Chain A
Amino acid sequence: MILEKKHLLLAEDDELLASLLNYRLEKGGYKVHLAYDGREVKEFLKEHTPDIIVSDIMMPYFSGIEIVDHVRNELNLQIPVIIISSAGNEENVLNAFEMGANDFISKPVSPSELLVRVGRELAKM
């Protein structure tokens, strides 16, 4: 039996972090789709529905909070959303939770920790 890979949308405008996370998530068995700003996220979501979204908060065009709002209130999707936030950005994290984010992870992001959190959120589905 061949298990189909879970599709993960990674929204992160920092190429360095995105590259590292992309590598680790793919190694972890996910099919990763990269978006480098909020606009690319919205474009992707027009045609695809990933199994999970991992999004940075501070991004050009649309923030992570706006992405959560878009996913929950405009697309009415209940897929898990994990927010990446900078330390000391608690207010934004709270806003993201209010909008319907499922979890958050603080920078500096540990790829191993992210893998665990992603797995945990998908297991809940």
Chain B
Amino acid sequence: MCQITKSISTLKLEDLLTKLSDLEATLHEFSYESLTAAEAQELKDTLERFRTLLQDRMKQESQEDSEKEFKSVFNMEEETNKSETDSEISTAHGELAEHSSFGSTRFTAYLKESELSNRQLSYINAILAAAEIDTRITNDPITPLPAKEVQKNEDDSRQENLKTKAMSSTNKKASKTGHSSKLGNSVPSKLDLNPILEDCLGKKDLLKELINLFKRNALEFIGQLKIHLENHDFEAVRFASHKIKSGLRMMNTRELLVIAEQIELESRKKQDIKHLKFLFNCFVTEYPEVERAIDKAFEELN
């Protein structure tokens, strides 16, 4: 990130600041349906850090001196730290892609037209890649992604996010409860119903009955949550999400369990109804796939 800032600083800093302000203005319209509160905060923080760096630079030196100093620092680093720099490009690319921090096509077009070295261009390419992803949150009317691609980006991003959180939270639980074999991976199409079948003493009829109950409970939960969220009834949301967890855990549905846990956690804070609605939408989107996976797993039982 620091490298990117340095490379960009060879441009006119005042212009960069202006463009940054433009970018921030466009980001006011980002949607909570696409970003969680935490992600939105990270986005803001990233932009703020970038702005601070630019302002610091302006205060320290005149534009000419700044360019000279940057080039000398840049060259020095390039010689002594080439591999580290390459790794930083990759890291910066990852960070940018993850945070979707730079989303203005005007901004990137401006950077593209500027006279830049190859290495500086590689930084800009990282920004461009992130900007491409970012079109989904800035609703940029100039270069919107095709609907399918936007959906895919959202799905991939959400899945990754949930997978990471699932791994993190379930691993903690696993160490606490010793149920590591039941938790930890996140593949909705592969569900293992054998543990619950064992609890049912191998009685498939009972398992079938439990699956039907699970489906009914999940649909009831969806209906209840929709109403509670409309009423901003955080306590009812917390209670409902707490209750559904037991069944989700029993059916080994890790993805939905992680979402329910987050809904319960967020509803305790009683602050962010938009984030709760986002999580709820994740649950609703995920549920049919999980239901199919359960049916499939049941059919495949010996």
Contacts and interface: CB of A to CB of B under 8 A. Distances in A.
Interface of A: 13-17, 19-20, 23-24, 27, 58, 86-87, 106-108, 110-112
B176, B210, B214: most-surrounded residue (chain A CB, <10 A): B210
Contacts of A24: 199, 201
Contacts, number: 56
Contacts of A16: 210, 213-214, 217, 246-247, 250
Nearest to A112: B199
Given A20-B210, A108-B177, A14 B199 contact: no
Interface in B178-220: 179, 182, 196, 199-201, 203, 206, 209-210, 213-214, 217
B17 to A, nearest CB: 47
B245 A15 contact: no
B269 interface: no
Nearest to B207: A20
Contacts of B179: 108
A20 B199 CA distance: 8
A114 to B, nearest CB: 11
A108 B200 contact: no
Given A108-B249, A110-B199, A19 B213 contact: yes
> 3 closest pairs, A vs B, by CB?
A16-B247, A14-B246, A108-B249
Contact of A17 (B173, B203, B209, B250): B250
Contacts of B173: 87
B5 to A, nearest CB: 41
22 contacts: A13-B243, A14-B217, A15-B213, A15-B217, A16-B210, A16-B217, A16-B247, A19-B210, A19-B213, A20-B196, A20-B199, A20-B206, A20-B210, A20-B250, A23-B206, A24-B201, A58-B242, A86-B245, A87-B173, A87-B176, A107-B249, A108-B246
B239 interface: yes
B242 A20 contact: no
A58 B201 contact: no
A87 B248 CA distance: 15
B228 to A, nearest CB: 14
A23 B210 CA distance: 11
Contacts of B200: 20, 23
Given A24-B201, A107-B245, A108-B179, 16 more contacts: A14-B246, A16-B213, A17-B247, A19-B206, A19-B213, A20-B199, A20-B210, A23-B203, A23-B206, A86-B246, A87-B176, A107-B246, A107-B249, A108-B177, A108-B249, A112-B199
A91 B34 CA distance: 36
A27 B213 CA distance: 20
Nearest to A110: B199
B251 to A, nearest CB: 8
Best-surrounded residue of A19, A87, A108 (most CB of chain B within 10 A): A108
A27 B201 CA distance: 10
A58 B242 CA distance: 9
A106 B199 CA distance: 16
Nearest to B242: A58
A14 B247 contact: yes
Contacts of A112: 199
B206 A17 contact: no
A106 B177 contact: yes
A112 B245 CA distance: 20
A17 B199 contact: no
Contacts of A20: 196, 199-200, 206, 210, 250
A58 B177 contact: no
Contacts of B243: 13-14, 58
A16 to B, nearest CB: 4
With a 10 A CB-CB cut-off, give which of B179, B196, B200, B243 has the most chain A CB atoms: B243
Contacts of B210: 16, 19-20
